[in-house]
């Protein structure tokens, strides 16, 4: 069974930085595109960023471009999201999720339980 | 930016059929995916590529698409189907994932 476990969330002030992580297990991690999604309190799902298996391609939603960096360590089966210049509107539950197939943009068939990021003064 | 439009809410009686729509420009050229999210839980993929069902998802869940509108159909609705449902597509023009605003299914 695919397992994705996020960690690293917390309470930070506007303008500060935070790194969230996602540890994957029981699948060939390096084959799959991985994604970060988030959900603000009481709001809908929002895509944040994606990275291909080799890290060759990275994609970001416009509101985080230049502030967030997605990266992965395939040797450690881990996905990361480094967040800088955090804003109040970045508050939410951050999920990592795996594409259901390799090589392309596919639906996310496995999700972690999320890690909560709160940006508040 | 690309927009997907869903009704905010759909209400059906137990045992009836619920249909949740998702509209978008040139949707016929995109693969539509559907997620179910129950309170306090992570989303679950219930339909992918318009009409494919992941293993473990009951056959009561089905997807279809006609022109610029995709539809998630839940047949013989049960109380346990009460959840938020989101449609999603990959926008090749911007290389962005896009979600609809979500539909709350009330049974």
Dihedral of the alpha carbons of B36, B38, B44, B46, in degrees to the nearest 10: -30
B42/A108 touch (CB, cutoff 8 Å), yes or no: no
A111/B42 touch (CB, cutoff 8 Å), yes or no: yes
Per-10-residue mean pLDDT of chain B, 107 residues long, equals: 97 98 97 98 98 97 98 98 98 96 98
Q: How far apart are CA A80 and CA A34, in angstroms?
A: 10
Specify the pLDDT at position A66: 98
Structure tokens at A72: 């992965």
Q: How far apart are CA B15 and CA A117, in angstroms?
A: 39
Specify the pLDDT at position A104: 77
CB–CB of A68/A60 below 8 Å?
yes
Query: How many A/B residue pairs have CB atoms within 8 Å?
Result: 52
- A61 CA to chain B: closest CA distance, Å? 7
Give tens-digit pLDDT for A74-109. Answer: 999 999 999 999 999 999 999 999 998 887 789 999
């Amino acid at each position: 069974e695919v397992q994705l476990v996020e960690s690293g969330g917390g309470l930070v002030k506007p303008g500060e930085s935070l790194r969230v992580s996602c540890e994957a297990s029981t699948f060939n991690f390096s084959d799959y595109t991985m994604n970060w999604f988030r959900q603000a309190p009481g709001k809908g799902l929002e895509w944040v960023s994606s990275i291909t298996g080799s890290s060759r391609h990275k994609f970001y939603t416009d509101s985080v471009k230049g502030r967030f960096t997605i990266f992965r360590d395939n040797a450690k089966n881990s996905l990361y999201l480094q967040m800088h210049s955090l804003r109040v509107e970045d508050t939410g539950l951050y999920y990592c999720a795996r594409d259901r197939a390799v090589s392309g943009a596919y639906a996310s068939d496995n999700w972690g339980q999320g890690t909560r990021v709160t940006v508040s003064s | 930016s690309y927009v997907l439009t869903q009704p905010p809410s759909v209400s059906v009686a137990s045992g009836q059929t619920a249909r949740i729509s998702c509209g978008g420009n040139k949707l016929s050229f995109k693969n539509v995916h559907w997620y179910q999210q129950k309170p306090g839980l992570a989303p679950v993929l219930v339909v992918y590529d318009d009409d494919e069902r992941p293993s473990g998802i009951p056959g009561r869940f089905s997807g279809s698409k006609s022109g610029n509108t995709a539809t998630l159909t839940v047949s013989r609705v049960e109380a346990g189907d009460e959840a938020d449902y989101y449609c999603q597509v990959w926008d090749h023009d911007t290389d962005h994932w896009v979600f609809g605003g979500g539909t709350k299914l009330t049974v």
